[in-house]
A and B are shown apart, each in its own frame.
Chain A
Amino acid sequence: MSRLVFAALLAASPAAAHYGMIIPSDPMLSQEEGRSVDLTVSFSHPFEEDGMVLERPEAFTVTHDGETSDLLGDLTEATVMGEPGYTMTHDLERPGTHVFAMTPVPYWEPAEDAFIQHFTKTYVSAYGDDEGWDAELGLRTEIVPLTKPFGLWAGNVFQGVVHLEGEPVPFAEVEVEFYNEGQQAAAPSELMITQTIKADGNGVFTYAAPAPGWWGFAALNTAPETMDKVGAAKAVELGAVIWVRFEEWAAQ
């Protein structure tokens, strides 16, 4: 009986990690494909496509050519993976790399007895121009790409350096998870839903994606401060999340 109850509890709580998500309709928009991208914004368990509630973020911006613009007002409420999230259509007015970034409000996670705040970003190249692909936005915590974060073949490695308050984080822990759209992949073990790697002493991590699609990288650190939850001081997990799409090798 108790074993059954335990099993039921396990089933109810996904083994996966939480991810802030910004998924564009296309990470490399060509001029023939149009002049805008559609963004789907959520807070989810991406491998299991299990949504959570995303409250209206503190900030949502796009950075291009060193200039950051506020897009918070452009977020349109939507249901994403069965839970409240947002969508947006954004015109890409100039060539180059447009970096979309979200600062969500801290999310209270009772299971972890902590608040979670995932600073999330995605890089989109417009019109064949990749200028600005390595942009650092200056978020409180951030994965700064060392590999161009679009135009990767499945099997390529992605490298980034984990920053917290602008400084590299030696041996930072990075969780990696596939956005398993349509449940196309099955994990042989729960350990493989979210994979965990560590950065080296310079905060640099490396991961080779085995299959095409969107892969999320979340570098997790604990904030020096705490936040109040009904009179008790609780830890705050700061996540630096980047979403990168790997493309299918197109042999002909």
Chain B
Amino acid sequence: MIRIALAALLSLALAAPALAHRVNVFASVEDGGTVLVEARFSTGRVPVAGEVRVEDASGTLLATYELDEDGTARFPLDREAAAGGLSITVRTDDDHEGYWLLTPADLGGGS
């Protein structure tokens, strides 16, 4: 149910064509309290600049961050805001976009 809602709110991202130069986004929780976002082009290279948008399960924008030069971003996990999961979208400066859905299960049950 939550995953469906998360997928639905990402319909815009899903509509974006998967071009040869896609940016793949992956996010994971480090040490229980920090979200690590990693972006990489399908060529294997990393984007050196871009914006990270973090939304909750209802699509409310929680925060934006800048991508570091190594294609990563880190932000503290607010478990209350993330209870229904997080949608993390990376838009690189050359307008490539990718996303990762951190589900409640990915977040370790959200507790």
Chain A residues within CB distance 8 Å of chain B = 31-32, 35, 93-95, 127-131
Of the candidates A32, A35, A93, A129, the one whose C-beta lies within 8 Å of that of B24 is: A129
Secondary structure at the B interface, as helix, strand, loop or mixed, is mixed
Chain B residues within CB distance 8 Å of chain A = 3, 7, 18, 22, 24, 26, 28, 40, 42, 44, 100-101, 105-106
Can you list 19 pairs linking A and B with CB atoms under 8 Å apart? Answer: A31-B100, A31-B101, A32-B3, A32-B7, A35-B105, A93-B28, A95-B40, A127-B24, A127-B100, A128-B18, A128-B22, A128-B42, A129-B24, A129-B26, A129-B40, A129-B42, A130-B42, A131-B40, A131-B44
Q: Which residue of A lies closest to B40 (CB)?
A: A129
Q: Which residue of B lies closest to A93 (CB)?
A: B28
Q: What are the residues of chain B within 8 A of A131 when measuring CB–CB?
A: 40, 44
Of the candidates B7, B26, B101, the one whose C-beta lies within 8 Å of that of A94 is: B26
C-alpha gap A35/B106 in the complex (Å)? 9
Q: What are the residues of chain B within 8 A of A93 when measuring CB–CB?
A: 28
Secondary structure at the A interface, as helix, strand, loop or mixed, is loop
C-alpha gap A130/B3 in the complex (Å)? 24
C-alpha gap A128/B20 in the complex (Å)? 12
- When A and B form their complex, which 8 residue pairs have the shortest distance between CB atoms, in order from nearest? A95-B26, A129-B24, A128-B24, A32-B7, A131-B44, A31-B101, A95-B24, A127-B26
Q: Which residue of A lies closest to B22 (CB)?
A: A128
Q: What are the residues of chain A within 8 A of B22 when measuring CB–CB?
A: 128
Q: Which residue of B lies closest to A131 (CB)?
A: B44
Q: Which residue of B lies closest to A129 (CB)?
A: B24
Q: What are the residues of chain B within 8 A of A95 when measuring CB–CB?
A: 24, 26, 40
Q: What are the residues of chain A within 8 A of B100 when measuring CB–CB?
A: 31, 127
Q: What are the residues of chain A within 8 A of B26 when measuring CB–CB?
A: 94-95, 127, 129
Q: What are the residues of chain B within 8 A of A127 when measuring CB–CB?
A: 24, 26, 100
Q: What are the residues of chain A within 8 A of B106 when measuring CB–CB?
A: 35
